[in-house]
A and B are shown apart, each in its own frame.
Chain A
Amino acid sequence: MSQIISRKTIEQLIGKLQSEGGHAAAPVAAGKRYFFRPLQKAEQLVLDGKIMPVNSVKEFFFPPHEVICRYQYEGKELQITDAEPFEKEQIIFGARPCDAASLPILDKIFAWDYQDRFYQQRRENTTVVTLACQQPDNSCFCTSVGLSPDTTSGADAELLELGNDLYEVRCYTEKGKKLFEGLTEESVKTGKTAAPPEIRFDMERVSKYLSEHFDDSIYSTTSLRCVGCGACTYICPTCHCFDIVDEGGAAKGCRVKNWDTCQFAMFTLHASGHNPRGEQAVRQRNRVQHKFAIYPSKFGAVLCTGCGNCTRECSASLGIRPVLELIDKKAES
C-alpha cells in the first residue's frame, strides 16, 4: 500500500506553516520560466515533474547574500554584533531529486575546517520534499555522475505525481514522516519516475584523468566560447564559493557573505595585479578540477549531481557537460 496526498492538502499544509511564521519555497512561474522562490501564497506552487526550474534550492541554505555581523562606532568604541542565524522553519516543495542530492555534498563543505552555523542552522530548520523526475531533458546527465532520476539523497520526503492533483508520498527521514503525519491516505496507486537519461561520460575515467593531468591543454579550446559570466556556478546546486565584503560606511555597516564564482576575471586577482587564474581557460580548469578531482580527493564523491542547470542555461551553449565529454574522449584515447 502507498500513501497519497492531494494538492489541496499540501496547500493547506503550506498555509498552516505560513500562519505559524514558517517559510515555504517551491517552483513558481515568472514569465515563461520557473524559479524556486519563497511562496507568497500556497496557490503559486507548481508541482510538475516535467519542469526544470532555472535555479537551485541551495539558495535556501546558502543564500546569495547573508549578513554575518554588524559594526558600529560609538565615539571611539567599536561595537560588533553577530548576526543571528536563520531560525524559522522552512519547507521546500518540489525540489528536483538531483538538486536535493547536492545537500549531503554541501554539508561536508560547510562542516569541514569551519562549522558554518548559518548553513547548518538552515539545514536543521528545513524539510526538503522532492518531486519525482518525469522527463530528463537534453542537458541532464545525472546517470553520468552515479545518480539517477529516482535518487533519494538529500530528500526528507518525495512526491510522485498520480494525476488529478494527487501525489504518492514517500518519506525517507523522521523530518519527512513528521511533516506528512496524519495528512496522507492509503491507496493502491503508486507513482513512477522517469527512465534514466543516457550516460554521457565515464566519471571514474574523467576523475582519474583529471587528477593525473592538472595542466591539460584541452581547456584552451573548450573555454573559447565561454563569455566569463557566473551563471553556471550560481545556478549550480553544488558550487559554494563566497566572498566576504564589508558594506556601509566607516562608522556603521555590516560584514556580508556574498556568492562568488571562479568564472569571473576578478577571481583570485591579487592586490599586486597578478592573477594566477588570469584566463578563462584556467578558470574553466579550476571549475572542472574542483568538481571532479579536488573535492573527490577530500570527500570521496564528485561535486556535481548532473542536474544539467549549467548547460541548460549557458548563454554560450557550454556549461560543464560538454567539457567533461571531451575530457572523457581524450582520456579514452
Chain B
Amino acid sequence: MPQQEKLQQKAKEILLEKKADVVIGYGKVETGNIGAVFITDPERTGELVWNNLCTTNLSVYLKRKEIKKLGKPCIIVKGCDAKALAVLEIENQIDRSAMTVIGVECFGVQDRCEPQYKCASCNVQLPPHCDFVIERDTKQSAPQGSRYEKLEMLDNMDSKERFEYWKQELSRCIKCYACRQNCPMCYCDVCVVDKNRPIRIDTSATLKGNFAWNILRAFHLAGRCVGCGACSAACPAGIDLDLLNLTLAKASEENFGYIAGVQRNVEPLVGTFSPDDKEEFIR
C-alpha cells in the first residue's frame, strides 16, 4: 500500500479511537501548494498528503494557542521533526502522554524546488521516538553527506571576510521574525526582542539591530537546534540562518559530545550543571 494511504488510514484510526482530537498533518491547500492541515473529522483524513514537498516542521504548531484549543493532538513528523519533539519533551514543553506521534519514513524533502540542505546528511529516514512509524515500501540508501559541510565556506574565510559576509546577508533582514515563528524551539511567551520595559534588543532593522537579533537567537538555540532548517526556509530575506545554528550545533557536538534531539531521556545541554564542568566560573 502506498505510504500516503497507510498514513491516512492510521490517522483515521487514531481519530476514530479518540486517541486524538486533531491530526496535524500536511495537505494540499488552496494555493495548490502543500501546507499544514488540521483534521478533526475521521472522514476527512483522505485529505492528508505525504510527499517530498512536505517540508515545513509541523511541530511548530504545538506551541500555538489556536491549535492547542483544538484538543489532544496527533502530529505527523519526519525524522528531523521528531528530533524537535525530543527537545521539546526534555524542556518540558510537551506532554508526550497527551499526544500521538506518527512518524513517516522520509528520503528527503524539497525547499524551493531543491533538496533541502539537511537531507544530504540525514540519518533519521525512520523517525525516532514515535508512537507509529509509516514505512515506505521501496527503500533508498541513506545519504552520506556531512552535517557541517556547509560551514566549510565560512571556515575558509578570515574573520574580516566572515564579518563582511554577515554584514551583507543581515543587511536584508527586515525583522519579520519568520525565523522565530517557524522555529519549534522558539516557544517563549514573550520573546526577549518583544520586551520593552526596558527595550533589550533594538527593534530596528538596522545592521546593529539585525546582528543583535540574529546572533541572540542563535545563542538561544545552542545545544537545542535540531537543524530542521525551518528558519532558513522561511526567511523572506533569503538569509541562510542555518549557518549560525549549525556553527553552535557543531560547537555543542565537538565540546560536549551533545547532539540535540537524538535522545529523549537526557538533560538539556544548556541548563544543566555538572561538577565535572571544566569552566571555573560556574563553581
Contact = CB atoms under 8 A, between A and B. Distances in A.
B178 A229 contact: yes
A295 interface: no
Contacts of A228: 64, 181
A138 B194 contact: no
B4 interface: no
B33 A317 contact: yes
Interface stretch (B72-80, B85-93, B201-209): B201-209
A332 B206 CA distance: 46
Given A35-B172, A317-B29, A230 B177 contact: yes
A191 B163 CA distance: 44
B176 A245 contact: no
B66 A247 contact: no
A225 B60 CA distance: 10
Contact of A243 (B32, B177, B203, B234): B203
Given A35-B237, A229-B234, A317-B31, A64 B174 contact: yes
Contact of B176 (A231, A243, A319, A326): A231
Does more than half of chain B's interface fall in helix, strand or loop, or is it mixed? loop
Interface stretch (A26-34, A44-52, A285-293): A26-34
A311 interface: yes
B175 A259 contact: yes
B66 A280 contact: yes
A162 to B, nearest CB: 29
Given A54-B238, A65-B204, A322-B31, A279 B112 contact: no
Contact of A229 (B33, B35, B177, B194): B177
Contacts of A139: 31
Interface in A276-319: 279-281, 311, 313, 315-319
Given A318-B35, A319-B31, A322-B31, A30 B174 contact: no
Interface residues of B, number: 42
Interface string A6-31: 00000000000000000000000011
Contact of B199 (A138, A245, A317, A325): A245
Interface string B19-43: 0000000000111111111100000
Query: Which of A231, A258, A261, A266: most chain B CB closer than 10 A?
Result: A231
A325 B30 contact: yes
Query: Which of A65, A139, A233, A266: most chain B CB closer than 10 A?
Result: A65
B205 A225 contact: no
Nearest to A257: B204
B168 to A, nearest CB: 8
A319 B236 CA distance: 13
B204 A247 contact: yes
Contacts of A64: 174-175, 204-205
B31 A224 contact: no
B234 A35 contact: no
A171 interface: no
Contact of B236 (A235, A259, A318): A235
B67 interface: yes
A266 B194 contact: yes
B214 interface: no
A224 B67 contact: yes
Nearest to B66: A280
A313 B236 contact: yes
A124 B67 CA distance: 47
Query: Which of A64, A245, A281, A311: most chain B CB closer than 10 A?
Result: A64
A229 B30 contact: no
Nearest to A64: B205
Contacts of A54: 236-238
B45 interface: no
Contact of A138 (B32, B60, B182): B32
Interface in A50-77: 54-55, 64-65
B8 interface: no
Nearest to B173: A64
Contacts of A281: 66
A223 interface: yes
Interface in B197-229: 199, 202-206, 209
B31 A311 contact: yes
A4 B166 CA distance: 40
Given A30-B172, A325-B30, 9 more contacts: A35-B172, A55-B174, A138-B31, A224-B67, A227-B178, A258-B204, A315-B233, A316-B36, A321-B30
12 contacts: A31-B240, A32-B238, A33-B238, A54-B236, A64-B204, A139-B31, A229-B182, A230-B175, A231-B236, A233-B176, A245-B204, A318-B29
